[in-house]
Amino acid sequence: MKSRKLSMLLAAAIALTAAGCGSSDSNSSGTAPTASSSGTAAGGEAPVSITVNCMPPKTNAAQRATFEEDIAAFQKLYPHITISKATDAFPCYEPRTFEAKLAGGELETVFYVNFPNVGRLMESGQAADLTPYTSELKTFADYNSSLDLFKKDGKVYGLPTDGYGMGLVYNKEVFTKAGLDPNTPPKTWAEVQAAAKKIAGLGAGYVGFGEYSGNNVGGWHFTASLYGRGGSVITDDGTKAAFNTPEGKAVLENLKQMRWADNSMGSRLYIDWPALMKAMGAGKMGMMLGAPDVLIGLRNDFGGKFENYAVTALPEAKSLFNGGAGYMINPKSTPEQIKAGIKWIEYEFLTPGKGQLDYVRAKGADLTVGQPYPDLYGADTPSGQAVNELRKANANIDAAQFAGWVEGSKGIPAKAEPGPYAQEIYKILDTPMSAVLTRQDANIDQLLADAETKVNSLLTSKG
């Protein structure tokens, strides 16, 4: 939810999000190759072992191969560090798995975290204080304001690696089949409704517009749509629900109209993040909400034809939902493990020309390069300039696929996810999303009122 990936980041996507995904071996684990059996470094540093997660699944062979290469190269660079285990999770954040591992104290030494969970992990002491070790990170000074999300009381508890800004993802081929111009995608919700009806009219299996309805991603997308309409999920002081408004009602009425009056959304429910991605990748869905990195996920993880997809700006957007992800370190880690974990995060995600920022390798491996991911570094910093130059020099995509999002999102103020309890709030908001997609007689006013009561109770209990 991936994700992906930044108001900060946007202004400046990334799950990887974001980002998320489902594979035949979801949540399975693999033992990573080790580079040193002796554990004795040339510099005399003591051997240390760490575990990491978010390894791409086997179904994403190209990205998994680069990840494994990086583990080997990292261990060669730091022979005193052994990555004893790398867990492949797809998506990297899956609520049930994450919560179970968190409750059981079984999270890896270095673990993936999406923005909505950062605040509560810091407050509950479930992330290590990295402040004494930030000098280990060569690019630390170049971070943009995305780093602020991982700070509390002047201390640093994690490192952002990704971010995203929401838009409207659409299938150009399906648009053409429906007699729609793929070069002029919808700019208003009325145009989305009209386009969805035409696409659904293509026949069996075609869905004009797809949307989530459960597992926290329903509430996540409710929030994205609400932000776009100018609304908020909670008050500015974070003490009350703020979505039982005309803007919140408009989100649900729009979906109810497309689902039941227009019959343009099909009858299938997309409860988990991979479900809607799989349907979009199958090539018969016209539109869905999503960030630019969704196109990469459709290509790499769900078999979609990359060239068929494009992303444009969120219709009528007054605010742009921004999210993202990063990495935190298990608070049970030793100082040596924390240092080793920071070095891994730096190598794999933050060093221009290395790890996931090795655009030369990515291009050679037939991975996409050049998509407008929000940047983690200030544009004028050495790291920011290096990343931009490498990305531009190795770009292998058609920039036009992202142009509508880039141009249409300019000047729209970014808006972060709703506070440290966003995941709990998203779970509550799943209910009205599911209701309007499953019940023709769903009472939107009552649904919003009930959700409002529950969110207020949640926020009161959290103090």
According to the model, what pLDDT value does residue 39 have? Answer: 43
- Residue 445 confidence (pLDDT) above 60: yes
Predicted local distance difference test score (pLDDT) of residue 374: 62
Q: Over the chain, what is the mean pLDDT?
A: 88
Q: Read off the pLDDT band of 436 (50, 70, 90).
A: very high
Task: Specify the pLDDT at position 4.
Answer: 37
Number of Cβ within a 10 Å radius of residue 76:
10
DSSP class per residue in 137-175? -TTGGGB-GGGGGGEETTEE--EEEEEEE-EEEEEHHHH
The pLDDT value given to residue 32: 40
Q: How many whole angstroms separate alpha carbon 250 and alpha carbon 24? A: 38
pLDDT at position 16, please? 29
Task: State the pLDDT confidence band at 405, using cuts at 50, 70 and 90.
Answer: very high
What is the arithmetic mean of pLDDT over 437-460? 98
pLDDT in tens, 18-50: 333 333 333 333 444 343 333 445 557 899 999
Quote the tokens at residue 50: 């760490």
d(CA 309, CA 172): 6
**409 three-state secondary structure:** helix
CB 323 within 8 A of CB 34: no
Q: What is the maximum span of the chain, computed from C-alpha positions, in angstroms?
A: 71
- Region 346-362: mean pLDDT is 95
- Whole-number Å distance between alpha carbons of 300 and 368: 9
pTM for the structure as a whole = 0.79
User: Is the pLDDT at 79 greater than 50, yes or no?
Assistant: yes
Taking the C-alpha atoms of residue 87 and residue 67, their distance in angstroms, rounded to an integer, is: 11
Q: Per-residue confidence at 259, pLDDT binned at 50, 70, 90? A: very high
Contact call for residues 357 and 347 (beta carbons, < 8 A): no
pLDDT for residue 43: 59
β-pairing, 320-329 with 414-416?
Answer: parallel
Contact 333, 327 (CB under 8 A): no
Least-confidence region, from 78-87, 181-190, 208-217, 419-428: 419-428
Q: Are 242 and 233 in contact (CB under 8 A)?
A: yes
CB contact at 8 A, 371 and 296:
yes
pLDDT tens figures, 265-284: 999 999 989 999 999 999 99
CB of 199 closer than 8 Å to CB of 174: yes
222 closest CA partner among 444, 453, 463, 459: 444
Q: Which long-range contacts (CB under 8 A, 24 or more apart) does 349-355 make?
A: 349/159, 349/161, 349/162, 350/137, 350/139, 350/159, 350/161, 350/376, 350/383, 351/138, 351/139, 352/383, 352/386, 352/387, 352/390, 353/386, 353/390, 354/70, 355/70
* DSSP-derived secondary structure letter, 214: S
Residue 175 pLDDT grade (very low, low, confident, very high; cuts 50, 70, 90): very high
Burial of 188 (0-12, 13-18, 19+ CB in 10 A): exposed
Spatial distance between the Cα atoms of 256 and 439, rounded to a whole number of angstroms: 9
Question: With 50 as the cut, is the pLDDT of residue 11 above it?
Answer: no
- Whether the Cβ atoms of residue 128 and residue 335 lie closer than 8 Å to each other: no
Percent of residues, the chain, with pLDDT higher than 90: 71
SS (H, E, C) 319-376: CEEEEEEEEEECCCCCHHHHHHHHHHHHHHHHCCCCHHHCHHHHHHCCCCCCCCCCCC
Q: What is the mean pLDDT of residues 388-405?
A: 93
Q: Does position 211 have pLDDT exceeding 60, yes or no?
A: yes
pLDDT value for 40:
47
Q: Which of 31-35, 94-98, 361-365 has the highest mean pLDDT?
A: 361-365
**Least confident span in 94-103, 120-129, 306-315:** 94-103
pLDDT score of 198 more than 90: yes
Give the C-alpha separation, 179 to 19, whole Å.
32
The confidence band for 115, taking pLDDT boundaries of 50, 70 and 90, is confident
As to burial, measured by CB atoms within 10 angstroms (0-12 exposed, 13-18 middle, 19+ buried), residue 366 is exposed
Q: Facing residues of 241 across strands? A: 234
* Closest to 358 measured CA to CA, from 33, 12, 113, 63: 63
Contacts of residue 204, defined as CB under 8 A and 6 or more positions apart, other chains included, come to none
CA distances from 70 to 21, 77, 87, 139, 357 (A): 21, 10, 14, 18, 11
Nearest Cα neighbor of 90 from 4, 32, 163, 25 is 25
- Quick check: helix, strand or coil at residue 312? strand
**pLDDT the model gives residue 164:** 82
DSSP-assigned letter for residue 282: T
| Reported confidence tier of residue 410, pLDDT bands at 50, 70, 90 | confident
